[in-house]
């Protein structure tokens, strides 16, 4: 679903995969700032400026379920959508209601600060969050990089929490899970510096025996085949999100991982001594 974060996708998984539409194979795709979106109560509060400039045609990211850290216990708490019906969405037309229901969303506040939408953050709550996460703040709280580092840590911890829940759910239901990673921000750092801010997510996936596919690494290897600046390389595959060439490259890159995963494999990828016209396992 466009605009979802990791937690929102997980909640969709819980709903869909327990119906007649449920499947044996489940892919959880973590893109870009999806880590942060898990924490937000209403992403529309961050995107409305750019979307409204386009005539309001791309309204999305309204209130949804989210997770946040209990600043006293340090544990994540899950929260349901407070506007869960079409009629209730009209409350978003009331500026006072929006303010009252978003003013204590610390992740939203920090992200808005990084985007330059507000000029300060609640420093007391920021320090409380850092303590809850056992995260050492380095630098002034007025420094955006300090806030960026804390928000990254907060969001990555949220993703690890959701991944644990997703793994538990799929295993209980006898399903197979594949986690897919791709983040243009990570890709850029891998290519230009060889480092990545989300390394702890990769380490977490490896340590806990997740099956995963990392498109960031694929791009870093692909870049070595060219004599281009990073900006020129991006233009080959992106127009914000992927362009058609980027979509094709992604599909071709993940293909082998999918084929290896499936049982039975698609006919095209079976051993040559197997019957080429065999729909066993698909039509039963």
Let me know whether 203 and 128 are in one domain. no
Let me know whether 135 and 95 are in one domain. yes
CA 264 to chain centre: 29
**Residue 134 included in any domain:** yes
* pLDDT tens-digit map of 222-257: 999 999 999 999 999 999 899 999 999 999 999 999
Let me know whether 84 and 174 are in one domain. yes
pLDDT at residue 279 in the model: 67
Cβ atoms of residues 179 and 208 within 8 Å: no
Query: Is residue 96 over pLDDT 80?
Result: yes
Let me know whether 221 and 252 are in one domain. yes
- The last residue of one of the domains, among 155, 178, 201, is 178
Cβ atoms of residues 79 and 67 within 8 Å: yes
Predicted TM-score of the model (pTM): 0.91
pLDDT, mean over the chain: 93
- Residues spanned by the domain of 77: 1-23+33-178
* Measured distance CA(8)–CA(60) in Å, rounded: 13
* pLDDT tens-digit map of 28-48: 999 999 999 999 999 999 988
**Residue 149 included in any domain:** yes
* pLDDT tens-digit map of 140-162: 999 999 999 999 999 999 999 99
* Measured distance CA(99)–CA(45) in Å, rounded: 10
Let me know whether 102 and 194 are in one domain. no
Residue closest to 76 by CA, chosen among 142, 197, 158:
158
Tell me the mean pLDDT in the region 174-196.
97
**Residue 242 included in any domain:** yes
Residue closest to 247 by CA, chosen among 237, 233, 261, 257:
237
Structural domains of the chain, count:
2
Let me know whether 164 and 202 are in one domain. no
* Measured distance CA(76)–CA(94) in Å, rounded: 30
- The last residue of one of the domains, among 143, 161, 178, is 178
Other beta carbons within 10 Å of 124: 9
| R_g over Cα of the chain | 21
Let me know whether 174 and 196 are in one domain. no
In the sheet where 176-182 sits, what is the strand order? 25-31, 176-182, 211-214
Let me know whether 130 and 260 are in one domain. no
- The last residue of one of the domains, among 141, 162, 178, is 178
**Residue 28 included in any domain:** no
| Helices 199-207 and 144-172, axial angle in degrees (round to 10) | 20
* Percent of the chain topping pLDDT 90: 85
């Amino acid at each position: 679903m466009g605009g979802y974060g990791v937690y929102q996708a997980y909640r969709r998984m819980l709903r869909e995969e327990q119906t007649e539409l449920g499947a044996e194979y489940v892919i959880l795709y973590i893109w870009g700032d999806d880590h942060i979106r898990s924490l937000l109560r209403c992403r529309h509060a961050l995107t409305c400026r750019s979307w409204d400039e386009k005539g309001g045609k791309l309204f999305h990211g309204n209130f949804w379920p989210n997770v946040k850290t209990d600043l006293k216990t340090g544990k994540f708490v899950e929260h349901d959508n407070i506007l869960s019906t079409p009629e209730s969405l009209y409350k978003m037309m009331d500026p006072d209601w929006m303010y009252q229901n978003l003013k204590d969303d610390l992740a939203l506040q920090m992200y808005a600060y990084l985007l330059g939408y507000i000029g300060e953050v609640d420093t007391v709550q920021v320090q409380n969050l850092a303590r809850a996460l056992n995260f050492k703040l380095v630098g002034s709280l007025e420094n955006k990089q300090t806030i960026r580092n804390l928000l990254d840590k907060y969001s990555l911890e949220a993703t690890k929490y959701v991944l644990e829940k997703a793994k538990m759910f799929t295993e209980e239901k006898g399903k197979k899970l594949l986690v897919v990673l791709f983040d243009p921000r990570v890709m850029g750092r891998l290519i230009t510096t060889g480092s990545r801010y989300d390394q702890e997510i990769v380490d977490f996936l490896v340590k806990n025996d997740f099956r995963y596919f990392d498109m960031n690494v694929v791009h870093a290897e692909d870049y070595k085949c060219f004599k281009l600046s990073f900006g020129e390389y991006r233009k080959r595959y992106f127009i914000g999100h992927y362009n058609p060439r980027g979509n094709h490259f992604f599909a071709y890159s993940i293909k082998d991982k999918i084929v290896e995963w499936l049982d039975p494999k698609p006919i095209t990828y079976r051993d040559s001594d197997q019957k080429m016209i065999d729909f066993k396992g698909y039509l039963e």
